[in-house]
Amino acid sequence: MTHPDTALADVMNRSRCLLFDFDGPICGIFAGLPAPSIAADLCELVAGRGVDIPREVTTSGDPFDVLRYAATFSPDLTQAVADELRALELRAVEVASATPHARQVIEAAHQAGRAIAAVSNNSREAVTRYLTTAGLAPMFTRIIGRTDPDPDLLKPSPHLITRAVKELGADSAECVLIGDSLSDIEGARNAGVFNVGYANKPGKLERFTTAGADAVITSMGELLPHLAERQAASD
Ligand SMILES: [Mg+2]
C-alpha cells in the first residue's frame, strides 16, 4: 500500500488542473442558512402542489433529497424545486462560512500556474456569487455548477466533472477533484480523474479510505506543500 503522504504528493504532482467541489472544500454553504431549513422550504413547495412526501424525504434534511424526489414526479415540479433551491442557495452564500485554508490553497495553486475549476452540485449562480464576493473568482478558470434541474446530472454522475475537464482543455488524467463527499469520489472515478477526499467530519476518513480514495486529507492546508511547481512526471 502506498504511504498516504506519498499518494497525495503523487496525485497532486500529476494534476495540472485542480477541480474543487464547492460546499466543503471552499466554504460551508449552509453554515448560516442550514440545509434542513432549506429542505423544509422545498418540502412545503412540493406539498403545496398536492404531492405527498414520504417521511424519509421530509426528515432527511437534505435539499437534494427533495429535488431527487420531485424528479420522480414531473419535469415541472423538478424545475420548480430547482428554481427555489437556487434562490435559497443564493441567500445561503451570503452567510456561508469560508473553509479554513481554502483561500491560501486557491491562491497558491493560482500562483503556481495550475488551472482551477469549481465543480459543484450547487447552482452555478450561487457558486459564482460566493467566489466573486470573496474575491476568488478571478483565479478560477471555470465555474461549473448546477444549471439543469435534472438531479441525475449531478455528482456522482461524471457529467459536471467531464464538462470541467473539457472546458479546461485538459485530459482527465491530469485533473484531480477535491471533494468532501462519497459522491465526489465516485464522480471523479466515473469521470476518470484523480480524487482527494477532504474528510471534514468524523467518520469520513474511514469511509473515503474504504471507498478507495486516491488520497485523503483532514485539512485543506495539507494541500499547500504540494502546490508548488510540478516535478517532471515519473511514470
Ligand atoms: Mg461537498
pLDDT in tens, 201-210: 999 999 999 9
Q: How far is ligand 1, taken at its centre, from the CA of residue 232, in Å?
A: 31
Q: Which residues contact residue 138 at a Cβ distance below 8 angstroms, ignoring those fewer than 6 apart?
A: none
pLDDT of residue 228: 81
pLDDT of residue 15: 96
E strands within 147-205?
A: 175-179, 194-198
In this predicted structure, the answer to whether residue 1 has a pLDDT above a threshold of 80 is no
Q: How far is ligand 1, taken at its centre, from the CA of residue 50, in Å?
A: 32
- 32-79 residue pLDDT tens: 999 999 999 999 999 999 999 999 999 999 999 999 999 999 999 999
pLDDT of residue 229: 66
Domain boundaries defined on the chain: 4-28+97-226, 35-95
Strand partners, 17: 115, 175
Q: How far is ligand 1, taken at its centre, from the CA of residue 223, in Å?
A: 17
Task: For residue 133, give Cα distances in angstroms to 103, 129, 137, 138, 218.
Answer: 13, 6, 8, 11, 26
Mean pLDDT to the nearest integer, 89-93: 98
In this predicted structure, the answer to whether residue 230 has a pLDDT above a threshold of 80 is no
Mean pLDDT to the nearest integer, 18-29: 98
- 171-196 residue pLDDT tens: 999 999 999 999 999 999 999 999 99
Q: How far is ligand 1, taken at its centre, from the CA of residue 64, in Å?
A: 12
In this predicted structure, the answer to whether residue 235 has a pLDDT above a threshold of 70 is no
| Cell numbers that stand for 202 in this block | 468524523
State which fold the 4-28+97-226 domain adopts: Rossmann fold (3.40.50)
Q: How far is ligand 1, taken at its centre, from the CA of residue 194, in Å?
A: 16
Contact between 57 and 65 under an 8 Å Cβ cutoff? The reply is yes
Q: How far is ligand 1, taken at its centre, from the CA of residue 183, in Å?
A: 9
Q: How far is ligand 1, taken at its centre, from the CA of residue 226, in Å?
A: 21
Indicate the burial class of 76 (C-beta count within 10 angstroms; 0-12, 13-18, 19 or more): exposed
State the Cα–Cα distance between residues 231 and 14, nearest whole angstrom. 8
Q: How far is ligand 1, taken at its centre, from the CA of residue 234, in Å?
A: 31
- 100-156 residue pLDDT tens: 999 999 999 999 999 999 999 999 999 999 999 999 999 999 999 999 999 999 999
State the Cα–Cα distance between residues 55 and 231, nearest whole angstrom. 53
Mean pLDDT to the nearest integer, 4-26: 94
Contact between 178 and 25 under an 8 Å Cβ cutoff? The reply is yes
Q: How far is ligand 1, taken at its centre, from the CA of residue 171, in Å?
A: 23
- Split at pLDDT 50, 70, 90, the class of 3 is confident
State the Cα–Cα distance between residues 15 and 11, nearest whole angstrom. 6
Q: How far is ligand 1, taken at its centre, from the CA of residue 179, in Å?
A: 6
State the Cα–Cα distance between residues 218 and 14, nearest whole angstrom. 21
E strands within the chain?
A: 17-20, 27-28, 97-98, 115-123, 142-146, 175-179, 194-198, 215-217
Grid look-up 485533473 returns: 175
Residue 35's identity, in one-letter code, is A
Q: How far is ligand 1, taken at its centre, from the CA of residue 88, in Å?
A: 17
Looking at the chain, the number of H-run helices and the number of E-run strands are 10, 8
- 146-166 residue pLDDT tens: 999 999 999 999 999 999 999
SS3 173: helix
State the Cα–Cα distance between residues 90 and 193, nearest whole angstrom. 29
In this predicted structure, the answer to whether residue 234 has a pLDDT above a threshold of 60 is no
* % pLDDT > 90, the chain: 94
Q: How far is ligand 1, taken at its centre, from the CA of residue 196, in Å?
A: 12
